[in-house]
Structures are given as C-alpha cells and as structure tokens.
Structure 1
Amino acid sequence: MGKVLNFGELLLRICPDPEGNWLKVNNLPFFVGGAELNVATALSLWGIPSAYMTSLPRNFLAEQLVAYVNELGIDTSKIEYQGERIGLYYLHKGKDMKNAGVIYDRSNSSFATLATGVVNWDEAFKDISWFHFSAICPALSQLTVDLCEEALIEASKRNITISIDLNFREKLWKYGKAPIDVLPSLVKYCDVVMGNVWAAEKMLGITVDEDLVDNDDKAQYLQQAERSSKLIQEQFPKCKAVANTFRFDHGQGVRYYSCLYTDQQLYVSKQYMAEKILDKVGSGDCYMAGLIYGFYQKQQVQEILDFATAAAFSKLFIASDATTLKPEEIKEIVIKYEN
C-alpha cells in the first residue's frame, strides 16, 4: 500500500478569548491546522504513511510551518509553493467551526489561488494509494473547484481510493455558487463519503425528514442515515461506504455516536456522553482519519466504525486542532464515557 495523500489548505487558527483579555496580556493563542492536515497528523501518529499537499508562499513562516509538519512524520514533498499568503481564521476557544462567531481570512491565499494546469500529478500521486479532501476546498472559489476536479480525475486514472468529508462552512461559500451546485460533480469520484444527514441534504440534495430534529429520536436518526446512505450510493455508484456522525451538544457536554453503511448493511457505533468537553475543533477530522485508518488496514467494518467514533469523541478533550492520542490511548479514555 502507498501513502495517504491529504489535500487542502493549511490554516492558522487564532483564538481570542470571548472577554478580550488577550488585549491586556498581549498574547493571542494559535494552532496549526486545516481539516486535511488534521487528518494527515492523526494518520501519521497512528502509523499510516501520510503525505500532505497544499499551497504555500515562499517565506520564512511557510518554511517554519513545513518544518513543523515534517516533524509530525508527514511527507511534505507534494506541497506547491506559489502565491503570497497563508490562510487564517479566528475562533473563540472551545467553539466549533459552525459557530456564528468564526471569522475567516482566507481570500487570495496561496491555496485559494492555486490554478489548474500547475500541479505535476505524476509526481503528486507517486507512491499514493489513497487521496482525501474535504468540502471545505471547493467552498473557497471556482478556482479551487476546478483544481479539486482536476485532482479527482487524475487520482481516478490511477485507481487511487478517494474519500471526502462533507463538512459545511456556510461563511466560506461567497463566490456565487451553493454547495449543491458543486459537490455532486466531485462526489461522483469518491469511494468513501463521510458527513451527516443534514450535510448530505445541503450539499447533495438528499432530503431529510422535516420532523427529524424536533423528535430527537435515535432510531429515527439511524433510519434517516440508512436512507440517506442508500440514496448517495444510488446517485454516486462509485461510493462503497457512507459514514454519518451524530453529535448533540448539551450545555458544556455532548452526546455522540455514528453509523457506517456499506455492503447493504448499516453498522452502528457505541454511544458516548460527557458533561464537559474541551475543544470541538478537529473532532470530525479525527473521525475521518479513523475511517481511513481502518479501511487502509482492511479491518472489519464494525472495528473501523468503533475506532473512528472513539477517536472523534476523544478529540473533544484535546486543546489543539489535531489529536495527540495513539489508538491504545483512545480506547482507554473513551470506556468511561460509554452510555
């Protein structure tokens, strides 16, 4: 098996506190991340050969960031160098990416301005057996839509397994296209699709029962997940597996479980509950990494699902964008939260 190539924008997450005390202490915490880099970080930590492809400017900050990624054991030889800036976003500590307060500063970044016809895909896909990207990439601009499609066509030519995370960031879709206008043309290349039933509705047009949220019934959620998964596979015949996560916030805590539909069967994970968590950012990325980790090693479906769910839940207790826990540590931590 070759490496897993994760494709997306490297970001700096800047975390001002809600009270504005950072102004008084002259200190603004930040984290290195980006959805696909978070996946790459987890996979490398878990012993899966991992590569990362993005676009960065040629300056000392980019050099330091690439050195940092290299130290994580991730192959950075696929990175393109062009453009003038690194993408940023601002988010209060403890909030997730769907929070209304998130501020993006990603316009005209190096990744957002990387055009088609530039990447040497023979070099990019050398020794690669899995290609992963997310719906955040085509949210940036038509340029990145075209770039994603170019990458997917080239990966498909080489029989590389392709996965997508249908993560929806409403504030990014500002160039005249809605997700439903873009994602179907990209998902048709994918073997593994991960997200939730509401993301599938918004991005792929897979309708959800209007009463689903009001009823808050786990059995109905799972029925909807199975129905949505079947429709995704009917609409996109290349898709072999569909994963749906369910995270419900309760005050400072959460309830979390997921399911995976493959080979005409719905597999359901254990459920976890916690009264208090630390950081929501990167939990979905950790789940995606868990799926790739299991499929890459050809594990049994239930084992794949259980580890991905445990990994995502354990990430909620880590104050960084990517997990720092190894598989054995993850399994030890989540046991006490089983519900």
Structure 2
Amino acid sequence: MNRVCCFGELLLRFSPVAGGEWIRQAAMPVFVGGAELNVATALSKWGVPVKYSTVLPENALTDDIVGYIIEKGIDPSGIVRFGQRIGTYYLPQGSDLKHAGVIYDRAHSGFSELTAGKVDWEAVLQGTGWLHVSAISPALSAEVAAACRELLAVASAKGITVSMDLNHRARLWQYGMDPTEVMPGLVEYCDVVMGNIWAANALLGIPVDEAIHAKGKPADYLAHALATSEAIQARFPRCTVVANTFRFDAPPSGLRYYTTLYTGGRQYVSPEFVTESVVDRVGSGDCFMAGLLYGLYNQHAPQAIVNFAAAAAFGKLQEIGDATGQSVADITGRVHTLTRVDSMDSVDSLDSV
C-alpha cells in the first residue's frame, strides 16, 4: 500500500496562559506538533495510510513521542535518530504563529543538523507514493534546505507525487539567503502547491497587488488567487494543483475564511465560513493541507476537495492543540450546515459537495 510520507521537524509546543498566570499555576500545557506531523495525524484519522519522517535524538523523551505517533496510527519508520535536542516553541494561548506571540527554541535541534548526504532517502521513501513537505524546513538553514532538495530529487526520480505547503515564517529565514533564492529550486519538484497570494510573493517572487487590501472585496481576492495560481503553474510546469487560503480577522475576536483550488484551467472556490470566536489558531492551515491531500488521494472532484479542506481548517479553529481530532463525518456535516455570510457569485453551491 502506497503511503503518504510527511517530512518535517517535530516540535513541542509550550502553551502558557498569558500574563504570567502559568507561573502562578506552576503549569504549562505541552502539545506534540509540527506542521507536517499535524498533516500526518489528520490523514491517519481520515483513513489515509501515512508515515512520518523527521530527526529526533536517541533518548527516552523521543521514545515517548514515537509511542504517541504509533498510537495515532502513523508509521514511524521514516524517523531518523541523531542529535541532542527536540525543537520547541512557546506560544501564549490564543496567539497566532504568524505574529509576535511565538518564541522559537529550536536552534541546535537534531533536525537542524540535517545536511545533504546524511540521510538515506531511499529508505525513508520506501513504500511511499506521495511526499509532503513544507517551506518551514528550508527556512532553518542552507544545510537543511540542501537536504530538502536532495529528498525532493530522490522522490522525483522515483515518480512520487510531491506536495508543498508554502508556510511563510519570516522569523525563521535568518541565514543570509532570501526565500526567493531557495524555494523555487524546491517547488520545481512539486505537483501540488498550497499557500496564499502573500506567501507566493515572499517565497517564490510571484507578483502581489500591494493595493489588494484597499480593494478588499472577495471578488478581488479571488481574481488575485486565480492570477497567482496561473503564474505558479506557468513557472513550475510540473505543478498541476494550486490552492490558496484567505483568513481575515472579524472583530472583536472572530474571523472569516474561504479558499480556492486551481486545477485543469479552472478555479474552484469554497464556501465562506465565519466564526465570532477562535479557540486555537495553530494547525488550521495544516488541517486545510491535510484536507486537500485527503481529497486528492481519494480522487474526489475538485469542488468537493476544496469544500472539505476549508471546512476541516475552519473546524480546527475550535480545537485546542496542534492537530485535529475531527472525523470525516464531522467535516462533511459542517460543509452543509455552517453559515455563509457573503453571496459571492464565484462560490459554488454547497449542494455540489
């Protein structure tokens, strides 16, 4: 059975209550995560055979984590052991990874010691028909980026489908190279690319309209998503699927969310979902990525794929922790019941799912 292999750094998230309450309580929740493991966890939950590949040290803490991964139904055979540390980060409860709330403590982790030639990628990819990676890994160092490119080249030579999440973590790109000098060389191996119009600009140099927020209408954002998708496919001919997400704050504490999928010369648009409050913003994009892979893996129709992926990501906003625990039934039910707040002409009916 061909598995989806998700490759990237496992991270422990420490999630303190803001304002120093974690000190007074002498407690701080810890979650096992990392973007690619979040994707793997969701896929396993939804019945897709999946393995996970990362680098972890040889110690008892790693043994506990591997046991956790196995309990989630994920094949851990892609995990390589070397180094001394597991990467961590601190994110106060309710904060967002893309903003100033995150404090990374991942320097000198085992994963950060990756270099080209250090891992037997043939062994890692054994039994794999799909490889999923993200832009977080090559943001760590030139050496890790070179290892990522080596992995993608091996996967490409083996005829493995490759997907890339264009996660843009500006605070990680600190080793003297602009993302646009690194990421195009990786995306050229990719069949599926997910991100948004701003990440495509920051990581790939795809033009972005600086006045897009001033226009501010859904139709303008959707037109931009189409142009960005077409530009990505023109530049990277191997890429046949491009997805874009749009997430906007809705004061005082809610948000609006919708997504697009471009394939076969047509753009498909999800319903627009709205919530007045958010429990945990971490992992929502990973959940969308997992939903996208779930639909593509099972060869669902494009409209059904983007609707399911958007509903999965939206549902994750109400879950504490890095990875989703939603079932397929939870998500498909939400597609039919959540409120739409904008009658965008370009959004297909929910009845098309």
Task: Look up the equivalent residue of 2:167 and give its one-letter code.
Answer: N
Q: Which residue of 2 aligns with 1:128?
A: 128
Give the letter aligned to residue 337 of structure 1.
Answer: T
For structure 2, the 5+ residue unaligned runs are 342-353
With structure 1 as the length reference, what TM-score do the two structures score?
0.98
Amino acid at match of 1:175: Y
Alignment partners' CA distance in 1, 2:152 and 2:285: 22
Farther off after superposition, 325-334 or 242-251? 325-334
Residue 307 of structure 1: CA displacement? 0.5
Distance in 2 separating the partners of 1:141 and 1:249:
32
Partner residue in 1 for 2:178: 178
User: Mapping of 1:5-16 within 5 angstroms?
Assistant: 5-16=5-16
Which amino acid in 1 is paired with 2:258? Answer: Y
Residue 230 of structure 1 corresponds to which residue in structure 2?
A: 230
Contact conserved, 1:83 with 1:114, CA < 8 A, in 2?
no
TM-score normalized with structure 2 length: 0.94
Structure 1 residue 181 displacement after superposition = 1.3
Q: Following TM superposition, by how much is the alpha carbon of 1:124 offset from its aligned partner in structure 2, in angstroms?
A: 1.1
> Partner amino acid for 2:47?
G
Deviates more, 1:174-183 or 1:132-141: 174-183
Q: Distance in 2 between matches of 1:267 and 1:237?
A: 20
Residue 26 in 1 paired to residue 21 in 2? no
| Separation in structure 1 between the aligned mates of residue 304 and residue 223 of structure 2, nearest angstrom | 21
The correspondence of residues 260-299 of structure 1 with structure 2, limited to 5 A, is: 260-299=261-300
Q: Matches of residues 296-335 of structure 1 in structure 2 within 5 Å? A: 296-333=297-334, 335=337
1:88 Cα deviation (Å)? 0.5
Residue 333 (structure 1) shift:
3.9
Aligned to 2:201: 201
Q: Which amino acid aligns with 1:108?
A: H
Q: CA deviation at 1:336?
A: 2.9
Matches within 5 A, 1:96-107: 96-107=96-107
- Tell me the equivalent position of 1:157: 157
| Superimposed CA distance per residue, residues 114-171 of structure 1 (whole angstroms, 9 cap, x where no aligned partner) | 2221222221111100000000000001111011000000000110000000011111
Offset at 1:101?
2.1
How far apart, CA to CA, are the structure 2 residues paired with 1:100 and 1:261? 32
- The answer for the alignment partner of 1:337 in structure 2 is 339
Q: Give runs of ≥4 in structure 1 deviating > 2 Å.
A: 331-334, 336-339
Query: Is the Cα contact below 8 Å between 1:82 and 1:114 reproduced in 2?
Result: no
Cα distance in 1 between the residues matched to 2:240 and 2:43: 21
Amino acid at match of 1:338: R
CA deviation profile, 1:152-208 (whole Å, cap 9, x unmatched): 000001100000000111111111112111101100000000000000011111111
Aligned to 1:47: 47
CA distance in 1, matches of 2:98, 2:203: 15
Partner of 1:142: 142
Secondary structure at the aligned position of 1:65 is classed as helix
One-letter code aligned to 1:77: S
Percent identity (aligned): 51
Residues 261-286 of structure 1, C-alpha deviations (whole Å, 9 max, x = no match): 11110111111011111111000000
**Inter-partner Cα distance in structure 1 for 2:97 and 2:112:** 19
Unaligned runs of 5+ residues in structure 1 are: none
Q: Name the stretch that deviates more: 38-47 or 215-224.
A: 215-224
Number of matched residues? 339
Query: What amino acid is aligned across from residue 257 of structure 1 in structure 2?
Result: Y
